C-alpha cells in the first residue's frame, strides 16, 4: 500500500479532503486481525494500547459452543439466541466481551493459500486502515531500503471489526461465512453494535477477501446461500466488497505462453450482483499491465459482467502478526483497497451511509478506464479522488 496509495489517488484525497465527517466501521471477515499491531493503534486516544479493532468475534468458536453446527443457524432467530452465540464467540479467556484479544496470532488459509501462521486477515485489514508511526523495518521489496517511518492504509481512522471465520487448521466453510454476515445484520439492528463494541455508529461495510466454490448442479450462479446472504446484507444498508478470486491462471501451463488463462472464473461471493467485486491489477503500472494473471475474469457463469472494479493487488506491503510488515499479492489485497476507498467516501459524505447501491455506482462511474474488456477490468481502476470529486460536485448523485 506504500506504492499503491498514489495509484488509487488516496494520497491526493489526503490533501483535498482531509477531514472525516462521520465515524465509519468496517468488518473484516477473514482469518483474524492482530489488534496489537502498531498499524491499528488509535492515535486519538491517550491510552497507548488503544486499538481501532473495536470488536473481535470468532465465528467457529461460537458455532462450536452452540453444539451441532447444522442446527445452529436455525436456532439463531431471536435476540436471546444471538446473544448467547455472541458471548461464546467473543470469549477470550481473561478478556471481557468486546475487548480486542491483544497478541493473538491468526491462522487460516484464504485464497491464495498461506502458511500455518497465516497473516492474511491482518494484512487485509492494514490495507484498509493502517496508520503506523515510527516504523523500523527493511522494505520487504528492497532489502537495501527502510520502510517509510509512517505507513498508512486507505482510511487511517476507520474502526475495524475482526470477524474470524477460519479455524486454527486453516479450514472454514460457507456456513461459517453466512453466519458471520447474518450476525452483522443483527448487530446493526437498533443500537446493539454500539452497546457491545462501545464505538459510535454501526457496521457500515464488510470486506470478503475469500473465495468459495459453488456446485453448478445445485445452485444457480449468484444465487447460492452465500450470495443470497450477501444480498440481504446489502439490502440492510451495508457495503459489501468481495474479491473476484485468484482463479484466472492455471499454473499447469506455466511454461506455455498464451494459454492457461481462465475466463468465467469469478468465485463466490464475488458472483453476487449486489457486491462490489474486485479484480487485481499491478501496483505500480496498471495502465501498462491491466489485470494480473491470477485475477479471476468474467463473465459470470450466467452471463453477467464481472468484476466491477480493479485495484492494486501485486506485491502489496502490509502488516503481519507480531508487529512486522510483509508483502502479499492477489484479489484479496485488491478488495481491501476498494473497501478502504469506500469507507473513506462514507466518512467524508455521511449522506451515503446506508446506501450501498449508490456507493457502488459512484465508485464504478468514477473509475479510470484501463482500456481492457469489461470482463477483465469491470469499469476500470478504482479512483478515490474522482469518486470524492464526483460526489462533492453532484451532492452524492453519481
Q: Which of 236, 47, 209, 195 is nearest to 121 (CA)?
A: 209
* 103-131 pLDDT, tens digit each: 222 222 233 233 334 589 999 999 999 99
Per-residue pLDDT of the chain (398 residues; tens, 9 = 90+): 888 999 999 999 999 998 889 999 999 999 999 999 999 999 999 898 899 999 999 998 888 887 655 555 666 777 888 888 999 999 653 233 333 322 222 222 233 233 334 589 999 999 999 999 999 999 998 888 999 999 999 999 999 999 999 877 667 889 999 999 999 999 999 999 999 998 889 999 999 999 988 788 899 999 999 999 999 999 999 999 999 999 998 877 766 667 788 899 999 999 999 999 999 999 999 999 999 999 999 999 999 999 999 999 999 999 999 999 999 999 999 999 999 999 999 999 999 999 999 999 999 999 999 999 999 999 999 999 999 999 987 664 44
Catalytic residue among 332, 339, 343, 379: 332
Alpha carbon distance, N-terminus to C-terminus of the chain: 27
The DSSP line for 342-398 is: HHHHHHH-GGGTT-HHHHHHHHHHTPBP-S--HHHHTT-B--HHHHHHHHHHHTT--
- Tell me how crowded residue 77 is: count the other CB atoms within 10 A of its CB: 10
Catalytic residue among 37, 120, 123, 155: 120
Residue 290 backbone zone (phi > 0: left; psi -120 to 50: alpha; other: beta): left
Return the C-alpha cell found at 384: 478515490
According to the model, what pLDDT value does residue 110 have? Answer: 31
Domain ranges of the chain: 4-394
- Catalytic: 30? yes
According to the model, what pLDDT value does residue 145 have? Answer: 92
- Catalytic: 43? no
According to the model, what pLDDT value does residue 283 have? Answer: 92
- Catalytic: 289? no
Report the DSSP beta bridge partners of residue 152: 131
What is the SS3 assignment for 204?
coil
Length of the chain, in residues: 398
According to the model, what pLDDT value does residue 20 have? Answer: 87
Class of domain 4-394: alpha beta
What is the SS3 assignment for 280?
strand
What are the E-state strand segments in 136-198? 138-139, 142-146, 150-152, 159-164
Catalytic residue among 4, 30, 106, 295: 30
* 260-297 pLDDT, tens digit each: 888 999 999 999 999 999 999 999 999 999 999 999 99
User: CA gyration radius for the chain?
Assistant: 19
Amino acid at each position: 500500500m506504500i506504492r499503491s496509495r498514489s495509484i488509487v489517488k488516496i494520497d491526493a484525497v489526503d490533501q483535498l479532503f482531509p477531514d472525516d465527517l462521520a465515524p465509519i466501521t468496517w468488518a473484516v471477515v477473514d482469518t483474524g486481525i492482530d489488534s496489537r499491531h502498531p498499524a491499528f493503534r488509535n492515535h486519538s486516544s491517550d491510552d497507548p494500547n488503544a486499538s481501532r479493532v473495536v470488536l473481535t468475534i470468532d465465528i467457529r468458536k461460537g458455532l462450536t459452543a452452540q453444539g451441532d453446527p447444522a442446527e445452529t443457524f436455525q436456532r439463531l432467530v431471536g435476540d436471546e439466541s444471538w446473544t448467547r452465540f455472541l458471548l461464546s464467540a467473543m470469549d477470550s479467556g481473561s478478556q471481557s466481551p468486546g475487548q480486542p484479544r491483544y497478541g493473538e496470532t491468526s491462522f487460516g488459509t484464504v485464497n491464495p493459500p498461506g502458511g500455518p501462521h497465516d497473516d492474511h486477515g491482518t494484512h487485509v485489514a492494514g490495507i484498509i486502515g493502517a496508520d503506523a508511526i515510527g516504523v523500523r523495518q527493511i522494505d520487504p521489496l528492497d532489502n537495501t531500503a527502510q520502510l517509510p517511518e509512517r505507513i498508512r492504509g486507505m482510511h487511517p481512522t476507520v474502526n475495524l471489526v475482526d470477524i474470524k471465520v477460519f479455524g486454527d487448521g486453516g479450514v472454514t466453510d460457507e456456513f461459517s461465512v453466512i453466519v458471520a454476515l447474518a450476525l452483522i445484520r443483527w448487530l446493526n439492528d437498533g443500537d446493539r453494535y454500539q452497546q457491545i463494541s462501545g464505538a459510535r455508529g454501526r457496521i457500515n461495510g464488510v470486506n470478503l477477501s475469500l473465495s468459495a466454490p459453488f456446485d453448478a448442479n445445485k445452485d444457480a450462479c449468484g444465487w447460492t446461500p452465500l450470495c443470497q446472504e450477501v444480498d440481504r446484507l446489502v439490502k440492510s444498508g451495508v457495503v459489501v466488497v468481495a474479491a473476484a478470486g485468484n482463479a484466472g491462471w492455471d499454473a499447469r501451463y506455466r511454461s506455455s505462453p498464451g494459454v492457461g488463462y481462465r475466463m468465467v472464473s469469478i468465485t463466490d461471493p464475488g458472483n453476487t450482483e449486489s457486491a462490489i467485486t474486485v479484480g487485481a491489477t499491478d501496483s505500480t503500472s496498471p495502465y501498462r499491465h491491466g489485470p494480473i494473471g491470477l485475477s479471476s475474469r468474467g463473465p459470470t457463469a450466467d452471463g453477467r459482467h464481472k468484476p466491477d472494479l480493479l485495484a492494486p493487488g501485486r506485491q502489496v506491503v502490509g502488516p503481519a502478526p507480531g508487529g512486522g510488515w510483509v508483502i502479499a499479492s492477489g484479489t484479496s489485497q485488491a478488495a481491501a483497497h476498494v473497501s478502504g476507498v469506500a469507507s473513506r467516501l462514507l466518512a467524508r459524505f455521511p449522506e451515503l451511509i446506508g446506501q450501498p447501491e449508490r456507493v457502488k455506482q459512484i465508485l464504478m462511474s468514477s473509475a479510470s478506464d484501463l482500456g481492457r474488456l469489461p470482463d477483465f477490468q469491470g469499469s476500470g481502476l478504482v479512483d478515490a479522488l474522482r469518486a470524492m470529486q464526483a460526489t462533492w460536485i453532484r451532492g452524492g448523485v453519481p
